[in-house]
Amino acid sequence: MTTNVTPGTDPEPNPHATEEQVQAALADTKLAQVLYHDWEAETYDDKWSISYDERCIDYARGRFDAVAADQPLPYERAMELGCGTGFFLLNLMQSGVAKKGSVTDLSPGMVKVAVRNAEGLGLDVDGRVADAEKIPYDDNTFDLVVGHAVLHHIPDVEQALREVLRVLRPGGRFVFAGEPTTIGDFYARWMSRATWAATTNVTKFGPLRGWRRPQEELDESSRAAALEAVVDIHTFDPAELEQMARNAGATQVGTATEEFAAAMLGWPVRTFEAAVPPEKLGWGWAMFAFNGWKRLSWLDEKVLRKVVPPKFFYNALVTGIKPDA
């Protein structure tokens, strides 16, 4: 599947992969990336409770400031690598981090949704289908490159970081957030599997059947989960992630980690939401999930960070600078 294309010739999204394509993707991680994320694109924001209002603007800006606070803002031109639906860059732009943006992803479906979201917000953003290991932009194009939960999908992370540095202007910065740590990924997956099994089994019986999604939707989710196991390639030790950035040529490299107690709530909540009909979960549930996450994030930041080693937190963040010429 060709993805390194010129503007106007990007491939069309393929939201309904055939069983044959899914089987082929099990042995081809980049094909799996495209199929899985095209599959998820139109429902991704709902699945992950993504919005483009104050709630997610504050969240995105908080991730940026965790490793790149006190920078002169705004950056003139920014790119998001592996943009998904545009969550990170579009919310950062709304917070004043950048004036103009470019969204890139291996999935045509995700690029389509991200550009549509940007248009709806009135932001100056263009989109390209792009392989992170061979970014289709000229040297010295961007002042800032960002990404959220993308590096762990890329086969050669160090090569992708070299490409990021190539397209950055001298003195430009990159910020990647939302990358799973090795220990965090272990307990998150365990909790997700346990929650899915419990919910889908309990809702087979009696009055709880009304809380069960149609079997075809559950089967579809299971097929997507099979691809998810292929697209999630890496987990990171924070120190090793920092060394990758240095090996790629970055200077002023720094890392941080976050979400320990918050992850213990967040992963079961997200899995439960995927297993039950969305109409069963109203505003009260949404506020419980969000406020619970906020309180536990406060606990992580103010208390647990002082006693729990960084590698036990779920999310890793990394930043670096392209050296001056």
As a whole number of Å, the end-to-end CA separation of the chain is 36
> What CATH number did the domain enclosing 53 receive?
3.40.50.150
Q: Are 85 and 60 in contact (CB under 8 A)?
A: no
Q: Look at the chain and report how many structural domains it folds into.
A: 1
Q: How high is the pLDDT of residue 6?
A: 42
Range of the domain at 94: 45-182+228-322
296 in a domain, yes or no?
yes
99 in a domain, yes or no?
yes
29 in a domain, yes or no?
no
119 in a domain, yes or no?
yes
Tens of pLDDT, residue by residue, the chain (325 residues): 333 334 456 777 766 677 787 777 778 889 888 888 888 899 899 888 899 999 999 999 999 999 999 889 999 999 999 999 999 999 999 999 999 999 999 999 999 999 999 999 999 999 999 999 999 999 999 999 999 999 999 999 999 999 999 999 999 999 999 999 999 999 999 999 999 999 999 999 999 999 999 998 888 777 777 777 788 999 999 999 999 999 999 999 999 999 999 999 999 999 999 899 989 998 899 899 989 999 999 999 999 999 999 999 999 999 999 999 7
37 in a domain, yes or no?
no
307 in a domain, yes or no?
yes
The residue count of the chain comes to 325
38 in a domain, yes or no?
no
Q: How high is the pLDDT of residue 15?
A: 67
Dihedral (CA of 107, 111, 116, 118) sign: positive
The pTM of this model reads 0.90
21 in a domain, yes or no?
no
